[in-house]
Amino acid sequence: MPASKVYFTSARCTVWDSSCSLPFKYDQLLLLAGLKKYISPKEKVAVKIHFGSQGCFRTVRPVFVRKTVDAIKAAGGRPFVTDTTRIDSLEYLEVAAYNGYTHLTCGAPVIIADGLFGKDAVTVKVPGAKHIQEIDVASAIYHADAMVVLSHFKGHIQAGFGGAIKNMGMGGVSPFTHCGHNNRGRLHSVSATPPEWQKGKCTFCGRCEKVCPTKSISIKGKESLKVNKDLCWICGRCARICPAEALAMPITSERLAIHIAEASKAVISTFKPKKIIYVNFIMEVQPECDCMPVADTPVVQDQGILISDDLVAVDRASLDMVNRAKPLPQSRAEDYGLKEAGEVLSKVNKRDTNITIEQSEKYGLGSSKYELIEYKSEGKAGKAEEHI
């Protein structure tokens, strides 16, 4: 398989000129990557992002969402900004607004892709899948003509890292269907049941109760912990943050990676070829996912923005950049004694970050071989020509 093109611009700005600012360079990078090739006039274009959480603010900055929307409009498309249900949809839209994502700031409607109740989805079969033979893709994404996937590249406590692949596989599907089938539960776990509580290990610290997105966990004193099976999404967030490992939800990194790859394949299959483009923002690279209720300090310095129509290549290039970056002090990297460049996200999350990329490549989602094409701006002399 030939190397895929990945377009890059650095976060560094060394010339005192607005044309060297990262938002301006992003304009030029979209031009260089040939955004117009992926969009036909009047097509409805999903701008897939993560709205973040209450307390987690290191998401893709609204200025870059607005730049993306403006570029889509310039290409003749009709954009809408979207994410899938992670908490109650109305509450999630409020969180989105708090984090800066509104029609006013983004320049396009901001909607929940799987509807008000998180059940508006279309079942898609995954040929050749090992575990997830079918999954329910959020309806607004399923019916979109094209999509621009904006991903905040950061760590993840279970997958090691989160980028374009995870944004597609986890973020493109709805949590529930009308028949109560749990999509995300199947992705995060090997069973369709809530985490098993092990009382002997529990310290009743209450972290699981606070982090639960559906408020399905209730703790009474130091005697009992109950999980409401009707409310639980089986997302595993409680098990992942439990310091005593008192909530058991077993899944290997390889199994999770396969689940994500299979779900990503389902989402991609709903689009015609060359109708999706992926943008990774390697900025504020915190050690954890944007769905958590906090945002820790970045583990490496901002690197820049990458664009490709190959989600495997863009994630591989992003991971390589983070791996070459020196860990930052006063971060979780320092907590682990990391001072030299290396696989920082893998080390702070104790996960092999290569597995997701390897499994996605096996499923034919893209190539880990890439050619990096950099856009540099030197003031007024900086220029990007549309890539044909």
- pLDDT bucket at 131, cuts 50 / 70 / 90: confident
Looking at residues 190-217, what average pLDDT do you find? 85
**Token pair 């992670």: residue:** 86
pLDDT number for residue 213:
80
Assigned architecture for domain 194-248: 2-Layer Sandwich (3.30)
For residues 292 and 56, is the Cβ–Cβ distance under 8 A? Answer: yes
Topology adopted by domain 4-186+251-381: Rossmann fold (3.40.50)
Query: Considering only CA atoms, which of 230, 128, 247 is closest in space to residue 188?
Result: 247
Q: Where are the beta strands (DSSP E) in 97-133?
A: 110-112, 121-125
User: pLDDT by residue (tens digit) across 346-359?
Assistant: 999 988 999 999 99
- 5/291: higher pLDDT: 5
6 membership: H or E segment, kind and range: strand 4-10
Q: Is the pLDDT of residue 383 over 60?
A: no
Looking at residues 284-289, what average pLDDT do you find? 94
Q: Is the pLDDT of residue 189 over 90?
A: no
Helices 354-362 and 311-324: crossing angle, nearest 10°?
160
Name residue 134's beta-bridge partners: 125
Q: Is the pLDDT of residue 321 over 80?
A: yes
- pLDDT bucket at 178, cuts 50 / 70 / 90: very low
**Structure-token pair, residue 20:** 């060297």
- 384/211: higher pLDDT: 211
For residues 386 and 31, is the Cβ–Cβ distance under 8 A? Answer: yes
pLDDT number for residue 188:
66
Domain with CATH 3.30.70.20 in the chain: 194-248
Query: Considering only CA atoms, which of 186, 127, 353 is closest in space to residue 254?
Result: 353
pLDDT number for residue 254:
84
Strand, helix or coil for residue 79: strand
Interior/surface letters 88-117, b for 16+ CB within 10 angstroms, e for the rest: bbeebbebbeebbbbeebbbbebbbbbbee
Query: Considering only CA atoms, which of 220, 384, 311, 286 is closest in space to residue 57?
Result: 286
Looking at residues 185-190, what average pLDDT do you find? 64
Looking at residue 176, what DSSP letter applies?
A: B
pLDDT number for residue 133:
86
pLDDT number for residue 163:
97
pLDDT number for residue 182:
61
- 184/93: higher pLDDT: 93
pLDDT number for residue 185:
60
Q: Is the pLDDT of residue 211 over 50?
A: yes
pLDDT number for residue 249:
75
Highest mean pLDDT among 230-244, 265-279, 374-388: 265-279
- 193/205: higher pLDDT: 205
pLDDT number for residue 94:
96
- How far apart (Å, rounded) are the C-alpha atoms in residues 119 and 84? 10
For residues 368 and 361, is the Cβ–Cβ distance under 8 A? Answer: yes
Q: Is the pLDDT of residue 387 over 50?
A: no
Q: What's phi and psi for 70, nearest 5 deg?
A: -65, -40
DSSP 166-194: HHHHTTSB-SB-TT--BHHHHHH-SSSSP
**pTM of the complete model:** 0.88
- 241/60: higher pLDDT: 60
pLDDT number for residue 240:
78
Q: Is the pLDDT of residue 23 over 50?
A: yes
Domain with CATH 3.40.50 in the chain: 4-186+251-381
For residues 37 and 140, is the Cβ–Cβ distance under 8 A? Answer: no
- Look over the chain and give the mean of its residue pLDDT values, rounded to a whole number: 90
- How far apart (Å, rounded) are the C-alpha atoms in residues 326 and 343? 10
- How far apart (Å, rounded) are the C-alpha atoms in residues 321 and 263? 26
Q: Is the pLDDT of residue 179 over 70?
A: no
Q: Is the pLDDT of residue 136 over 80?
A: yes
- How far apart (Å, rounded) are the C-alpha atoms in residues 135 and 133? 7
Query: Considering only CA atoms, which of 57, 55, 47 is closest in space to residue 113?
Result: 47
**Structure-token pair, residue 31:** 């031009």
- How far apart (Å, rounded) are the C-alpha atoms in residues 351 and 170? 18
Residues above pLDDT 90, as percent of the chain: 66
- How far apart (Å, rounded) are the C-alpha atoms in residues 89 and 117? 6
- Measured torsion, CA atoms of residues 107, 382, 164, 108, in degrees rounded to the nearest 10: 10
- How far apart (Å, rounded) are the C-alpha atoms in residues 99 and 153? 17
